[in-house]
A and B are shown apart, each in its own frame.
Chain A
Amino acid sequence: MLYEPPRETDAETIGPEPVGAKANLANASLVNASLLEGRLHPMTLLLGVYNYVRRMILPLIPLIILERGVTTVVIITLMLAAGLARALVRYFTFSYRIERGELITREGLFERTERHIPLERIQEIRIEQGVIHRLFGVVDAAIETAGGQRPEAKLSVLSLREAERLRQAVFEKESARRVAAAGSAPGEASAERASAERASGEREVLIRLRLRDLILAGLTSNHVLSALVLVGTLMAFVDDVLPESFYKQIVDSVSSQIGRVAERGVMAAALAAVLAMIIFFLASLLLSITGSVALFYNFTLARAGEDLHRSYGLLTKRTSSLPRRRIQLLEIKEGALRRLFKLAALRADTAGSDFSDSGERRQGQGVLLPIAPRDELDRLLGTIFPDLEAAPRQWARVSRVAVARVAIRGAIICLAFSAALSWYAESLLGLWPLALVPVIYFASLMRYRALGYTTSDRYFYMRRGWPGRSTYILPIRNVQAVAVRQTLIDRKLRLATLSIDSAGQSRLGGPQLPNLPVDEAYALARAIAHRAASTQYRW
């Protein structure tokens, strides 16, 4: 809240022995440039109590229902008081400031915590504004640094203006620091300076999603596909597989309950089943669309200098600022339905918190772009990775043995399932899983064709998957380690799996190439590792 001119910090910068005159000068100018100091917004009190009550209300509901006496009133009063006390402590003890290239937060009444976060380590600033926040013009801010499961610092709640100032101060200082650091290399320095100037200035909107796009995103999401598949298989199952007598049984039981005539029952039951499926399908469609629209409403991806800004949300508004060089890995995701319409989503790994546990999908944190036409998305890649070459035309494939391997594995599973089913049902109907074998062969062939990789001077590209497809773009400067693994079967077939590790990968892992010929895998691993060793990784 308070913007105070630097007083004590001046003395501090002069205090220590000057190591290098230039560095010191730069440092001093940085400190004078924008010293930011602030406290939380008074709304912390109200929202703090609200959050506390929201967390505690569930165990209290039975109490409120069962006992409406004095005890309940006392307990609720005590609870409110406790919530208020916590919020009061937080409001009055929490302070933050930016000083000498660090964001410093301070908190606590009896047990005080002071946290120093070097600005150059800040990966991302996320700002979130729920419905209540919006009524009062306040936000929650979260500061992300590399690693860890949670944000490094949570500033909740700040006024909107204050959060914006914090965001600007952090990233401007970061840019300015890099200008000072790059002082020796004039070319780079001027480029950095230019970008630093732009960081404070205008934003270039890269893409803005319309309502139509979001509805399309909902319509083509994986939920819809799975619902479709479910409905399809159920219908096929009901229509073809079940014997007539089974139909009759259902119909009889249903019709006897409803009290209809048995002859008309078959039609009625079939109709009811179809109707139920259609309703189920429409409901999932509607849910998917509302989810997509509510989460990503008015999604805007913009660039200001080195930073990518995202803002989205209908009820809860979210914005995030992410320096583009913090992006470790890009993934272009084309779900099966989306590929039909040439649509794709763009996801990014950052070294910040790990959101793979469902948080990502609910809040859209790893999503750089929820949906866009594939060619438009390809156009954006150059903005995110400025040194990206043209998209690869040729993809190297893994060993052809992969097709047979996957197909045989599938066939064995089918055979086992079939055998078990026939034995159990004592009928030839149990053989129907065998009909899947050609399908599995076809799928493994398509997957083999889809799986490809290629390396350029600075990037590793990989794509995989059928009918849905993922394409990974990994800058080799972000490669942390390479591993080549062989199972027993791999060794028999002289194949291996290559995986490339980078920072901030989700638990499902990053780029992985199975079924590479083993010598090729070792050669590729060595080439990538050596290439990575000669580049510099920057946080």
Chain B
Amino acid sequence: MFEDAQQSDTALAAREEFRPLDPRVVKLWRTVGFITASLLMLALLVVAFITSAIHPELSPWVFLFWLLALILSLWLVYWRPPRLYRSWGYRIDDRVLETRSGLLFHVRRLLPLTRLQHVDLHRGPIERAYGLATLVLHTAGTQEARITIPGLDHVAATHLRDHLVEVGGDDAV
């Protein structure tokens, strides 16, 4: 494909296996999911009360529907995180960072490290409680200008960031 066959050989055969995220991320996603689901269901409950006040004849259906939604969302909150965790992975060789993710829709993103503009280390309050961090990698692109790696151990994420900053972005900007 490219002239220097030796290089493309190493490129074609990925030398490293994907590294998984920190297993604690399952708990993190469940917690976050639980909180958002609760808020959403609470809001829906208010809607349900209002609807049944206006149309009393519909009220059993409205609450049945709400109960179904509650069960579905709770199940999703429990079921999804471990599978999402297994779908996630990332690997870095000396030139390219690659991430893979997605349950229904698989996405792999490849980032040439020299294209790295800057790296954010993001830590929300719940992430902090679990000792985790999210790396956000920025390029000058458009559709894929932000590539994120969630659920990294905080210390490991810091090391990874330092490594990426050192290796990447040597462009004459």
Chain A interfacial positions (CB closer than 8 Å to B): 146-147, 181, 351, 455-457, 479-488, 491, 499, 501-505, 509-510, 522-539
Contact = CB atoms under 8 A, between A and B. Distances in A.
A532 B141 CA distance: 13
B110 A481 contact: yes
Contacts of A525: 108, 110
A531 B114 CA distance: 11
Nearest to B140: A503
Nearest to A181: B172
A509 B173 contact: no
Contact of B106 (A486, A531, A539): A486
Nearest to B117: A480
Contacts of B173: 538-539
Nearest to A518: B106
B172 A532 contact: no
Contact of B142 (A181, A505, A530, A538): A505
A538 B140 CA distance: 11
A486 to B, nearest CB: 4
A352 B98 CA distance: 28
Given A499-B143, A502-B141, A526-B96, A532 B115 contact: yes
Contact of A480 (B3, B7, B115): B115
14 contacts: A457-B2, A480-B144, A481-B141, A482-B109, A483-B107, A483-B110, A486-B107, A488-B105, A502-B141, A510-B143, A523-B12, A527-B12, A529-B11, A536-B114
A533 B113 contact: yes
B105 A485 contact: yes
A480 B138 CA distance: 10
Interface in B56-113: 95-96, 98, 102, 104-113
B95 A480 contact: no
B96 A533 contact: yes
B172 A536 contact: yes
Contacts of B12: 523, 526-527
A356 to B, nearest CB: 10
B115 A485 contact: no
Contacts of B142: 480, 501-505, 510
B49 to A, nearest CB: 38
Contact of B115 (A351, A481, A487, A509): A481
B107 A533 contact: no
Nearest to B108: A484
A515 to B, nearest CB: 15
Contacts of A509: 143
Contacts of A481: 109-112, 115, 139, 141, 144-145, 147
A458 to B, nearest CB: 9
B129 interface: no
A380 B170 CA distance: 32
4 closest Cβ pairs, A-B complex: A480-B141, A533-B112, A533-B95, A501-B141
Contacts of B143: 483, 499, 501, 505, 509-510
Task: Select the residue from B109, B143, B145, B172 with max chain A CB neighbours within 10 A.
Answer: B143
A451 to B, nearest CB: 18
B143 to A, nearest CB: 5
A481 B147 CA distance: 9
B35 interface: no
B1 interface: yes
Q: Could you tell me the dominant secondary structure of chain A's interface residues?
A: mixed
Given A481-B141, A504-B142, A505-B141, A486 B109 contact: no
Contacts of A456: 2
A531 to B, nearest CB: 6
Given A504-B142, A531-B2, 20 more contacts: A480-B145, A481-B144, A483-B108, A485-B107, A486-B102, A486-B106, A488-B104, A501-B145, A502-B142, A503-B142, A505-B143, A526-B12, A526-B96, A526-B110, A527-B11, A527-B12, A529-B110, A533-B95, A533-B96, A537-B171
B8 interface: yes
Contact of A455 (B2, B96, B114, B140): B2
Contact of B109 (A483, A524, A527, A537): A483
B39 interface: no
B14 interface: yes
A531 B4 CA distance: 10
A534 B95 contact: yes
B140 A533 contact: no
A479 to B, nearest CB: 7
Contacts of A534: 7, 95, 114
B171 A522 contact: no
Contact of B110 (A482, A504, A510, A535): A482
Contacts of A482: 109-110, 144
B112 to A, nearest CB: 4
Contacts of A527: 1-2, 8, 11-12
A227 to B, nearest CB: 33
B140 to A, nearest CB: 5
A480 B112 CA distance: 7
Given A480-B140, A527-B8, A537 B114 contact: yes
Contacts of B11: 526-527, 529-531
A495 to B, nearest CB: 11
A528 to B, nearest CB: 8
Given A457-B2, A483-B144, A538-B171, A530 B108 contact: no
Nearest to B172: A538
Interface string B135-173: 000011111110100000000000000000000001111
B112 A529 contact: yes
Contacts of A457: 2-3
A315 B157 CA distance: 57
Contacts of B112: 479-481, 529-530, 532-533
Interface string B1-26: 11100011011101000000000000
A147 B140 CA distance: 8
Contacts of B107: 483-486
A181 B142 CA distance: 29
Contacts of A531: 2, 8, 11
B135 to A, nearest CB: 15
Interface in B25-47: none
Contacts of B104: 487-488
Task: Select the residue from B11, B107, B142, B144 with max chain A CB neighbours within 10 A.
Answer: B142
Contact of A536 (B10, B102, B171): B171
